Amino acid sequence: MSRCWVGVSGWRYPRWRGDFYPTGLRQRDELTYTSERMPSVEINGSFYSLQRPTSYASWAAATPADFVFAVKGGRFITHLKQLHDVDAPLANFFASGVLALGRKLGPVLWQLPARMPLSPERLDRFFTLLPRTHAEAAALAAQHDGKLAEDRVLTDLAADVRPDTPIRHALEPRHPSFETAEARAILAEHGICMVVADSAGVWPTMPDATSNFRYVRLHGETELYASGYTDASLDRWAEQCRAWLADGHDTYVYFDNDAKGHAPFDAVRLLDRLR
C-alpha cells in the first residue's frame, strides 16, 4: 500500500527550543522528540557538508523502526559543481555514511540553484550516475577519493537491507527552464521525481509528475522560509496527498518554513488531517 511521510527539513533549530521543544529538553534528544510526533525528517546538514558515518548511525538509532529519512545531496555537487564532473564528489557523498541509515533511508533530494538553467546533456549524465539500489550506492561509495579520511568512510551495506533495496531520487530545480516538457521528459525517462515546491511564489512550483512517487517541499505560504500555513491551505494539501495515495503513489511532504518555528507545528497539523 502507498504511504505518506510528513516531516520537517532539519530538526536542530535554536528557535524551536522552548517552543516546539519543551524547555530543558536535551539537544541530543531533539530528533527523538521529533520522531515521536512525525514519521520522517529531511536531513539537510548533508547539504552543507559531508556528515560522518557515526552521525547517520546515531540518527537511525534515535528514531522508531518505521521512521524514514530523506537525505539532501551536497551543495558541492549541486551548487558549486552544478552537476558537472561530479563522479568523485558523488562517490564521496555516498561514502560519508548515508548507507548507515539502512532501511530508514528514504529519497535523496537534489536541490539545484535558481541560477542554473536546464542542460539536458548534463542532467542526463548526472541521472545516469545516481545509484538506484543500496548495492549500487555501496559500489559507488567504494570509489571515493582521498579527500575522505578512512574513519569517515562507510562502504558496507547495513545489515537490515537487501542489496537490491531501491533508492529513490528527487530533483528540486528553481530555474524556469525546468518548467518545460523537455525537462519533465528527462526526469521521467530516469524515474526521477520532480519536487513540488511551494515557495511563496519565489520559484516555479512544477506540479507535473515525473515518477511513481511524490515529493513536496513547503517553504512558506506567503513569506519564504518564515510564514506558516493556514487551515484552508493545509486542508488542500491533505486532499492532494489523499489523491496521490489513492492513485498508489508514496508521498513525502517536508515543511521548510522553519525560520519562525512554524514548520514542526504545520507538519503535525497536516498529519492530523491525514489521520
**How deeply is 263 buried, as exposed, middle or buried, from its count of CB atoms within 10 A (0-12, 13-18, 19+)?**
buried
How many CA atoms lie less than 13 Å away from 208 in the CB half-sphere? 14
C-alpha 88/C-alpha 108 separation (Å) is 17
Confidence (pLDDT) at 267: 98
Distance CA 62, CA 104 (A): 12
Go through 29-62 and write b for each residue having 16 or more CB atoms within 10 A of its CB, e for each that does not.
Answer: ebbbbbbeebbbbbbbebbeebbbbebbbebbeb
Bridge partners, residue 133, by sequence: 166
State if pTM tops 0.85. yes
Instruction: For 124, list phi and psi in degrees, rounded to 5.
Output: -60, -40
What is the C-alpha to C-alpha distance for residues 211 and 244, in angstroms, rounded to an integer? 12
184-to-27, 178, 190 alpha-carbon distances in Å = 41, 7, 10
What is the side-by-side strand order in the sheet with 213-218? 193-194, 169-172, 105-111, 68-72, 40-43, 4-9, 250-255, 213-218, 196-198
Query: What is the full per-residue pLDDT of the chain (275 aa) written as tens digits?
Result: 899 999 999 999 999 999 999 999 999 999 999 999 999 999 999 999 999 999 999 999 999 999 999 999 999 999 999 999 999 999 999 999 999 999 999 999 999 999 999 999 999 999 999 999 999 999 999 999 999 998 899 999 999 999 999 999 999 999 999 999 999 999 999 999 999 999 999 999 999 999 999 999 999 999 999 999 999 999 999 999 999 999 999 999 999 999 999 999 999 999 999 99
In the three-class reduction of DSSP (H, G, I as helix; E, B as strand; rest coil), residue 203 is classed as coil
* CA separation for the pair 76, 151 (Å, rounded): 21
3-class DSSP state of 116: coil
Q: Read off φ and ψ for residue 187, nearest 5 degrees.
A: -65, -45
Helices (H) and strands (E) in the chain, counts: 10, 9
Cell numbers linked to 128: 545516469
Q: How many CB atoms lie within 10 A of CB 158?
A: 19
pLDDT in the model for residue 211? 98
All structural domains of the chain: 4-274 (3.20.20.410)
The whole-number pLDDT of residue 1 equals 87
